[in-house]
Structure 1
Amino acid sequence: MHSFDTTARGVYLITVTPFTDAGALDLASTDRMVDFCLERGVTGLTILGILGEATKLTAEEAKAYTRQVVRRVGGRVPVIVGVSSPGFAAMGELTRAVMDLGAAGVMVAPPGSVRTDDQIAGYFDMVNETLGAVPWCLQDHPVSTGVQMAPGVILRILKNAPHCVMLKHEDWPGLAKLSAIRAASDKGDVRRVSVLTGNGGGLFLPEELSRGADGAMTGFAWPEMMVDVVAAHGRGDVERAHDLFDAYLPLARYEQQAGIGLAVRKHLLQQRGAIASSFVRKPGPKLSAQDLADIDRLVRRQQQRLQQLG
């Protein structure tokens, strides 16, 4: 059993939320998706994230989805739930609900309303008060939040948050930030926490692993890419890690287009049998015939390259 603590490693996959073609929450596909991810070797699941369409779910749907995921996982890997909210009452209520359902911990990003270093640090002091002893992950994703957290601010948060066990690092560019955080823990200036990287399908995953990341927390229709890259890097075969990553990179890049990226991922997951429908709730994109042709070409080329790599 993998643990959600400061030693966490591997791949915590950010999942999509499956819906039916009519837009209802699809709990049968949720089971299929969980099985699909676990069969490909992920060490954790993260749900109700940005690409999990969390803001499009009702409070009851969020609880029902969490309940289904936790039940299907059956304790085999940790399940982390995004509970970010500008208001602490909502954050605390959802946190208590998902922890009661069996989640291993939660993930929190700062709201766009905090701007200065002191505002950011003060916000997370209140997060600590709200979450209590619940283990949590600090999400640093300026592209979505608009909040820039310098390395010094992140270190300040970590020093004041004994139950923050993980940093989800997805600033871009962010390699220097990752190096600075690892250097601080190596010197003993701050305790070492798990660092998992995002950046849209892990677009800098090999480099981030070389800078001290412990794995990835992001989504991609081929989760085995991240699993295999992290494994190869971990056993010291860095060139193999890069070769594998390069084979998947064109499709991972295509998935990260602003506007249609989620639709691309859901389409591919439907093609792979992980979910029954590629439906994206409104407001959401739809793929054109040209998009679908691009995707088919990229999948064929990816398969050919993987065969060459063996």
Structure 2
Amino acid sequence: MVTSLQPGVWGVLATPFTGSVLDLDESGLARLCEHYQSIGVTGLTALGVFGEAARLTEQERATVLEIVTDTCELPIVVGATSLSTRVVIDEVNQAVEIVGDRIAAVMVQVNTAAPSALTDHLAAVHDATGLGIVVQDYPAVSGVSIRPESLVAALRGQPFCAAVKAESPPTAVAIHALAAGLQVPVFGGLGGIGLLDELAAGAAGAMTGFSAPEGLLACVRAWEQGGYEAAREAWLPYLPLATFEQQVGIALGIRKEALRMRGLIAESGVRLPGRGMPDELSEQLGRHLDAAKSAAAATL
């Protein structure tokens, strides 16, 4: 039986690099894992888009999984980068060899807009690996756009589905349809920029990379305890940072620089074809981080 993911905040790990050739920064990755565990996230997602998984070698991906598994005790969702069924199965089997029963699910991207073909793809991955699947709808990365009702048709009643990660704007509209049509949790992404609206639409939480995950936690916990108004108040101090991080073309570079400025990683390098954050934005990023730090301190 596939177990649905627990609601809450699932942190998506960045992959820090070091030096002029951008080698994997193993100690920096371990610090990120320790930080996420210390603030109380539900689980971690490794080898996602935020982790630049498609830019890692097979050995580097293995090393990332080894570090995550050895550093923290949280459940782990492992991302698969390919859209090909056979290659996804290979990626997942390699991950299982390293992570073992610590894998809560594998995250697989939507690879077709045809519901029956998508069902066949995901079922084949599940049948070959035995793992539950977090279905990631992220057309900006996959190049595949699927209508929410088609995604519901592909997933409704399917035993392999552990959750859906909805990253196809307008996300609140998609989440409303998915949450109403499926019996599995639906998570928002995209750096948390639409988090409040996604929770109002029925999201079970967030699964995303954001340089201040404390804000994601504050918002989701406030929603659970006090509803919309409480969640809105909790999220407002972090929203300018979330918006700032979503600048087209440099979003990843901004987030990694924010993590560096927070002291969580040593360097903010991004592998090509990604782009680092322009120096001109450094002062403003510092202002946003100071505001987020003050908000986090006020909730302790």
Does TM, scored on the shorter chain, surpass 0.5?
yes
**AA in 2 matched with 1:88:** T
Aligned equivalents of 2:6, 2:294: Cα separation in 1:
33
- Please give the secondary structure, in 1, of the residue aligned with 2:17: coil
For 2:108, the equivalent position in structure 1 comes to 108
Contact 2:54 2:81 in 1 (8 A): no
Aligned equivalents of 2:297, 2:118: Cα separation in 1:
49
1:301 is displaced (CA, Å) by 4.1
**AA in 1 matched with 2:97:** D
1:127 maps to 2:117:
no
For 1:53, the equivalent position in structure 2 comes to 52
For 2:223, the equivalent position in structure 1 comes to 233
**AA in 2 matched with 1:44:** G
- TM superposition score normalised by structure 2: 0.90
Contact 1:244 1:306 in 2 (8 A): no
Aligned length: 293
- CA deviation string 1:19-62 (max 9, x = no partner): 11231111111111100111111111111111211111011111
Unaligned runs of 5+ in 1: 186-191
- CA deviation string 1:112-154 (max 9, x = no partner): xx3xx43x53144123113322111000112322322222211
Contact 1:247 1:306 in 2 (8 A): no
- Please give the secondary structure, in 2, of the residue aligned with 1:263: helix
Runs (4+) of structure 1 moved beyond 3 Å?
Answer: 300-310
For 1:170, the equivalent position in structure 2 comes to 167
1:96 maps to 2:87:
no
Aligned equivalents of 1:307, 1:19: Cα separation in 2:
29
Aligned equivalents of 1:216, 1:127: Cα separation in 2:
22
- Please give the secondary structure, in 2, of the residue aligned with 1:50: coil
**AA in 2 matched with 1:35:** E
> Any residues of structure 2 matched to 1:134-213 within 5 Å, and which?
134-159=131-156, 161-185=158-182, 192-198=183-189, 200-213=190-203
- TM superposition score normalised by structure 1: 0.87
The change in CA–CA distance for 1:288 and 1:204 in structure 2 (over 3 A counts) is closer
Aligned equivalents of 2:54, 2:77: Cα separation in 1:
17
- Please give the secondary structure, in 1, of the residue aligned with 2:187: strand
Contact 2:250 2:277 in 1 (8 A): yes
Aligned equivalents of 2:44, 2:15: Cα separation in 1:
12
Aligned equivalents of 2:186, 2:43: Cα separation in 1:
14
For 2:67, the equivalent position in structure 1 comes to 68
Contact 1:5 1:194 in 2 (8 A): no
